[in-house]
Amino acid sequence: MINQLRVKQRDEYYSLEVESGSNLLDVLRRENYFIETPCGGRGVCGKCRVTVNGQTALACQTVIDRDMLVELQNEEKTDILMTGISVQGVLDGTHLYVMAFDIGTTTIVGYLMNGISGELLTQVSSLNPQKAYGADVISRIQYAITTDAEELRKMICGTLLELLNEAAKSVKIKTDEIALVSIVGNTAMHHLLLGIDVKSLITPPYMPKVYEAVELAMQKLFSEHTEGVVRILPNIAGFVGADTVGCLVATRFDHLKKMTLLIDIGTNGEMVLGNWQRRIACSTAAGPAFEGANIQCGMRGQKGAIDHVEVQDGKLVFHVIGGGVAKGFCGSGLLDLVASLLQIGEIDGSGRLMNGKEYRLSDTDVYLTQKDVREVQLAKAAIRAGIELLTKKIGISISKIEKVYLAGAFGNYMNPKSACLIGMIPICLLDRIEGIGNAAGEGAKLCALSKTEYEYSKILASETEFLELASLTEFQDVFVDSLKFTEENDEYL
């Protein structure tokens, strides 16, 4: 049997005939509608909400069994972090046009540069199209294993090619003139891009199948591109990938005199502690809470998101991106909100909301649930446990950390004080925190401009030790201890 489906988005209608019994989400994806599905279609995140014949419904849980009018929410533009610390690198000067990509789980950023002068000509970005198969790397890996890894590979290659074309067009050159591309990304993005089996990433001992830097002909990734080379930076461990190596390149980590902690909080939290003498990396399952997933009113950092909250005269004051009505909060807003509620005593040290199951921000439909607070506690405890165990492994106390680099979008937008108030980062480090933006992208840029930098990335990766937190007997205890909102911060609240 056939049903009529009418899809409405931004006052435009599109009609099609659909086999009765089809899943609505599958059909919408097939027709190239972008639907947020952080939980990968398991019916738990609530983010794939659409309106079906006037009623709210989850697209992933809806079977098309009648004629339907499906109304989609309008997509807002997301701000994507493109800039990072600026480093003077060595220039090969071999190619006139080179491009660097940072493939994140959520976003992809590309930088087109003049390979002779090192000048940045243009930068382009896009959401990662694989987002349709889950917000976090685990959902993507599961989709790749159980359903179709090739589909994910084609998606990412397609988007990279679109970005190459877009960048070339904007500076009025042919895409073919881009002779070299360098790429960083986490291990899952790395393996999916290269068509490498991702099973090893989620099976003990959780290691990548390929660690080494990979150099290949551009044609292997983009069949239209006849000439050119792609450099993909190496991985360090299962969830410490080429993006972390990019950060190490950009910060010249092996030359740092000060004991430095680098934290990249995304859907995972990667950390490196050390200096010129020794470096140890670890990854924590921080989860995508700070990217707005699994949070009732969570959303990306786009128009309508509360991105900043603070306490003024005992009351909460907040800022909405783009002004207007608050629709939810993004990661930095969520972090601030929890820190502010701790300050005014609406959340206690154990994480309990003091006045019922949710806290509603006045004059809005935006609220924080008890479950949301628990998600934040899990994320922050994972990061904090990583910091505690890394310092122990390197044999210093936390107060001996002299510098904290926060990399990545969340690290860039979040208020460090809030991160310290909730105990994610030890409060004694507050005045040592410095945001370094998209350092992974900066590392990729350096490696696109120079073979020497690319070789340097290999040395940094091979000389960085890895600490597998889950294998440590004390991990569970440290993690559980880190769940509470620590008393050490009381004097600041």
The site for ligand FES (CB under 6 A) is made up of 37, 39, 41, 43-48, 58, 60
Q: Which is nearer to ligand FES, 29 or 392 (CB)?
A: 29
Q: Which is nearer to ligand FES, 41 or 443 (CB)?
A: 41
In the bound complex, what is the minimum distance in angstroms from residue 437's beta carbon to ligand FES? 30
In the bound complex, what is the minimum distance in angstroms from residue 132's beta carbon to ligand FES? 9
Dist CA 234 CA 241 (whole Å):
7
In the bound complex, what is the minimum distance in angstroms from residue 68's beta carbon to ligand FES? 17
Q: Which is nearer to ligand FES, 41 or 84 (CB)?
A: 41
CA distances in angstroms from 72 to 20, 46, 65, 80, listed in the order given: 20, 14, 19, 23
Hey, CA dihedral for 352, 358, 360, 366, is it positive or negative? positive
CA nearest to 100, candidates 269, 242, 210: 242
Q: Which is nearer to ligand FES, 29 or 458 (CB)?
A: 29
In the bound complex, what is the minimum distance in angstroms from residue 23's beta carbon to ligand FES? 10
Q: Which is nearer to ligand FES, 38 or 185 (CB)?
A: 38
CA nearest to 65, candidates 8, 6, 15, 18: 18
Bridge partners, 401 (sequence order) = none
143 backbone φψ class: left, alpha, beta (φ>0; ψ -120 to 50): alpha
In the bound complex, what is the minimum distance in angstroms from residue 292's beta carbon to ligand FES? 13
Q: Which is nearer to ligand FES, 58 or 232 (CB)?
A: 58
Q: How far is CA 131 from the centre of its chain?
A: 11
> Residue 88 phi/psi, 5° resolution?
-85, 115
381 backbone φψ class: left, alpha, beta (φ>0; ψ -120 to 50): alpha
Hey, CA dihedral for 305, 158, 208, 403, is it positive or negative? negative
Q: Which is nearer to ligand FES, 97 or 133 (CB)?
A: 133
Structure tokens that stand for 217 in this block: 């002909």
